[in-house]
């Protein structure tokens, strides 16, 4: 018989890697202030490595015009595509290795590889070496995924939601501050100065990761789908390479048709493989369910167009005005960043607004509104992009539409999957968005090249190129609308969960705009890539 005035202690869960018990979040402890201070330090140590992709993406994107002119290249698209393709291929491997060897150890290795890639990029004597550096730097991409997964391992259960929201939500501040910072760096020190800043930022990320305790190691369930990852990355690389050479060599030339056909064949082989293996890198069997398929595909396509369209303004505003050669505006990077503040604020606020709105309106209705606003903003931008007031006005409209889409996607996913399926569905969504973004970005550069003039080895763009690019992105959003029309009725989100999901979704998905997504790519409910989902939720409009 227990005569103690205190209740008998509950069974203790296995200790966490940071020395706390998994049950800490379920009962008070005498050292609660110290534990909370430790959690705060851990949170601060995870924020920078998790959001470095946002900073690096914005700085790298804004540096592209200067890099293109310095190296006299017409293939500047590969500066971003090389990074994205490397991230797509590396992420599933990183997720599984993190489960086997510990996420901290894997993050340190990836950050070290990213630092090597940053150094190769900034010291590159020519453009091919720079692209190689971007491939190596892309190995850092999965760190954002592992950071969010590590939060679930290192924080007590009742604090996980707040910790995840803090890490993901910090992107809002960075997305507003980083354009101004990158503008100052590029205007004052040029593109090498900006890239040296990224080198220093990666060093800081490495140092902060050293302060993170190791996460629990779990035995991998099943074999890692290495062939699937290689086939996906190789197929996409071949298709993107072929599309990028279409205008220069002619769409019927062997230099285009051969890699295009080879890429298509590789992707077909990838599809067949994914339908057969037990633990696929991309569980295409999920797409057999109409609600899941229409939501994931219908949301990935227009978001890719929104993210890719951000590059148009960079070349429009930062390229010089040269009669009969270039119709750029010749603005400074800092000035462009200031003009982008209203649109950024609207995008960030849209997540909170959607969180409230979906409590009264079907997520599908909100999604259609976002598609309409984004399409209208892109079409207006196609014909009105010659002065600051037009740039701000269309930026606010597209930012509102894009913010609604990023937040709305999360509420729709919640409506078509069970809570146990949430992580796997987000993983599929993130990977599909990255695949669509890769193809859409190359299509964008193909449109721009159609109205370009090559001068001294550098492609400069005339006004019709910018018009065609904006209209092309609007057409892709319209394609997403056609797919979205097949989305079945969705239930309304309930309570504060809707607000948190939408706001966190906007923050996390914002990273994808820089070439990667800060979500659990390829991770199932237990962190297993491609874990099959069960159809357990009925969807109805309220």
Per-residue pLDDT tens for 425-468? 766 777 788 888 888 988 898 899 888 888 888 889 999 999 99
Q: Is 3 a residue whose pLDDT tops 50?
A: no
pLDDT classification of 189: cutoffs 50, 70, 90: very high
Over range 272-279, report the average pLDDT.
82
Range name among 8-17, 185-194, 384-393 with the lowest pLDDT average = 8-17
CB atoms within 10 A of CB 26: 12
Higher pLDDT, 514 or 487: 487
Q: What is the mean pLDDT of residues 477-490?
A: 86
Query: What is the reported pLDDT for 346?
Result: 86
Whether pLDDT at 199 is above 90: yes
Q: How confident is the model at residue 419 (pLDDT cuts 50, 70, 90)?
A: low
Q: Is 536 exposed, middle or buried (0-12, 13-18, 19+ CB in 10 A)?
A: exposed
Tell me the per-residue pLDDT of 321-335, one tens digit each, with 9 for 90 and over: 999 899 999 999 889
- Cα(182)–Cα(59) distance, integer angstroms: 5
Residues 477-507 as b/e (b if ≥16 CB within 10 A, e otherwise) read bbebbebbeebeebbbbeeeebbbbbbbbbb
The pLDDT assigned to 390 comes to 95
- Coil, helix or strand at residue 19: coil
What pLDDT is recorded for position 420? 59
pLDDT at 139: 92
Three-class SS state of 295: helix
Identify the three-state secondary structure at position 494.
coil
| Whether pLDDT at 48 is above 70 | yes
The answer, yes or no, to whether residue 106 has pLDDT greater than 70, is: yes
Q: Is the pLDDT of residue 354 over 60?
A: yes
Q: Which residue has the higher pLDDT, 231 or 16?
A: 231
Lowest mean pLDDT: which of 116-120, 249-253, 515-519?
A: 515-519
Instruction: Work out the angle between the directed axes of helices 363-383 and 388-416 (0-180°, nearest 10).
Output: 160
Prediction pTM value: 0.74
Instruction: Find the mean pLDDT for residues 265-276.
Output: 88
Mean pLDDT of 67-76: 89
């Amino acid at each position: 018989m227990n005569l103690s005035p205190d209740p008998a202690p509950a069974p203790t869960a296995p200790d966490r890697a940071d020395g706390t018990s998994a049950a800490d979040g379920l009962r008070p402890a005498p050292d609660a202030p110290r534990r909370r201070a430790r959690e705060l330090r851990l949170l601060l140590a995870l924020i920078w490595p998790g959001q470095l992709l946002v900073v690096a993406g914005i700085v790298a994107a804004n540096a592209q015009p200067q890099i293109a002119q310095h190296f006299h290249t017409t293939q500047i698209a590969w500066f971003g595509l090389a990074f994205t393709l490397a991230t797509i291929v590396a992420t599933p491997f990183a997720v599984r290795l993190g489960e086997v060897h510990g996420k901290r150890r894997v993050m340190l290795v990836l950050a070290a590889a990213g630092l090597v890639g940053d150094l190769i990029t900034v010291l590159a004597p020519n453009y091919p070496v720079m692209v190689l550096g971007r491939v190596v730097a892309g190995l850092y991409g999965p760190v954002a995924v592992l950071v969010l997964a590590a939060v679930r391992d290192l924080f007590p259960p009742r604090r996980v939601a707040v910790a995840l929201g803090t890490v993901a939500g910090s992107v809002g501040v960075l997305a507003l501050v980083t354009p101004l910072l990158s503008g100052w760096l590029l205007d004052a020190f040029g593109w090498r100065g900006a890239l040296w800043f990224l080198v220093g930022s990666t060093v800081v990320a490495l140092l902060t990761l050293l302060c993170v305790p190791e996460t629990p190691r779990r035995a991998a369930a099943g074999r890692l789908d290495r062939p699937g990852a290689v086939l996906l990355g190789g197929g996409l690389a071949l298709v993107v390479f072929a599309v990028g050479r279409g205008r220069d060599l002619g769409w019927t030339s062997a230099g285009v048709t051969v890699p295009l056909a080879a890429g298509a064949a590789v992707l077909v082989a990838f599809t067949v493989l994914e339908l057969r293996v037990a633990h696929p890198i991309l569980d295409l069997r999920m797409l057999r369910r109409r609600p899941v398929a229409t939501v994931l595909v219908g949301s990935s396509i227009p978001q890719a167009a929104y993210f890719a369209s951000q590059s148009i303004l960079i070349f429009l505003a930062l390229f010089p005005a040269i009669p009969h050669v270039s119709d750029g505006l010749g603005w400074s990077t800092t000035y462009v960043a200031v003009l982008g503040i209203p649109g950024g604020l609207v995008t960030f606020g849209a997540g909170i607004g959607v969180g409230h709105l979906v409590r009264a309106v079907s997520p599908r209705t909100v999604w259609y509104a976002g598609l309409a606003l984004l399409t209208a903003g892109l079409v207006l931008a196609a014909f009105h992009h010659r002065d600051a007031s037009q740039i701000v006005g269309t930026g606010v409209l597209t930012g509102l539409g894009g913010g609604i889409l990023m937040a709305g996607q999360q509420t729709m996913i919640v409506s078509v999957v069970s809570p146990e399926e949430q992580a796997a569905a987000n993983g599929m969504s993130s990977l599909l968005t990255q695949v669509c973004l890769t193809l859409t970005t190359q299509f964008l550069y193909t449109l721009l090249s159609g109205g370009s003039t090559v001068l001294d080895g550098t492609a400069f763009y005339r006004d019709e190129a910018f018009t065609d690019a904006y209209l092309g992105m609007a057409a892709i959003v319209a394609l997403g609308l056609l797919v979205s029309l097949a989305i079945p009725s969705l239930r309304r989100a309930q309570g504060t969960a809707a607000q948190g999901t939408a706001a966190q979704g906007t923050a996390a998905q914002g990273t994808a705009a820089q070439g990667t997504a800060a979500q659990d790519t390829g991770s199932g409910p237990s962190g297993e890539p491609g874990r099959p989902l069960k159809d357990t939720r009925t969807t109805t409009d309220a």
